[in-house]
């Protein structure tokens, strides 16, 4: 009897330990992401509850990555709490940039996935580019900046007036 209890006790101890390790890893990953958002976007992470005031032109600040947006002009058909509409813009290629256009969609914070911004660049009515919205900056009823998750690190799309 004693021999059976020892393996059960060891397996129970091993089963509870990874949960504690996972919680610590998730917390350190969240802290690292908070630091990257502050470093690359100059914002603190906050909840995205609405996209009201999203229509406008945005330019990417900082280093570019192939297939990520450089400039986007968004015209929202509606923007509260989610957003849908049309976009035009440019994205980075391996050698320079290229133009694209289509439809966009944005969803506010969702407990399952968070906030997201999507682009349909080939008119097939399916979003083919997905960027998680890590932070949003607002001022005077307008969205002034979107911090999006990029391939290498977060990047800032800042409202432009030209």
Alpha carbons 103 and 106: distance in angstroms, whole number: 11
**Residue 69 in tokens:** 């947006």
Residue pair 89/102 in contact (Cβ under 8 Å)? The answer is: no
CA 30 to chain centre: 14
What are the helix (H) ranges across the chain?
A: 2-41
Return d(Cα 138, Cα 1) in angstroms, integer. Answer: 66
Which of 130, 135, 102 has the alpha carbon at shortest distance from 117? 130
Sole residue written with tokens 């450089």: 70
48 DSSP assignment: -
Q: Tokens standing for 77? A: 């058909």
What tens digit of pLDDT does each residue of 62-88 get? 889 999 999 999 999 999 999 999 999
In this predicted structure, the answer to whether residue 29 has a pLDDT above a threshold of 90 is no
Higher-pLDDT residue of 26 and 134 is: 134
pLDDT at 139: 92
pTM of the model: 0.79
Which pLDDT band holds residue 59 (cuts at 50, 70, 90)?
very high
Residue 7, class by beta-carbon neighbours within 10 Å (0-12 exposed, 13-18 middle, 19+ buried)? Answer: exposed
Query: Please, are residues 143 and 115 in contact by the beta-carbon 8 Å criterion?
Result: no
Q: What are phi and psi of 81, to 5 degrees?
A: -80, -30
Q: Work out the average pLDDT over 124-135.
A: 95
């Amino acid at each position: 009897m004693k021999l059976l209890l020892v393996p059960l006790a060891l397996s129970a101890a091993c089963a509870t330990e990874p949960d504690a390790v996972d919680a610590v890893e998730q917390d350190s990953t969240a802290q690292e992401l908070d630091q990257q958002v502050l470093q690359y976007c100059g914002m603190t992470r906050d909840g995205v509850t609405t996209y009201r005031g999203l229509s406008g032109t945005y330019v990417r600040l900082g280093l570019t990555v192939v297939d990520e947006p450089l400039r986007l002009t968004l015209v929202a058909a509606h923007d509260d709490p989610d957003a849908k509409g049309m976009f035009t813009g440019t994205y980075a290629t391996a050698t320079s940039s290229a133009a694209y256009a289509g439809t966009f969609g944005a969803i506010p914070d969702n407990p399952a996935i968070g906030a997201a911004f999507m682009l349909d660049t080939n008119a097939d009515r399916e979003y083919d580019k997905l960027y998680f919205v890590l932070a949003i900056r607002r001022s005077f009823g307008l969205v002034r900046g979107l911090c999006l998750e990029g391939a290498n690190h977060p990047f800032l799309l800042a409202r432009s007036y030209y």
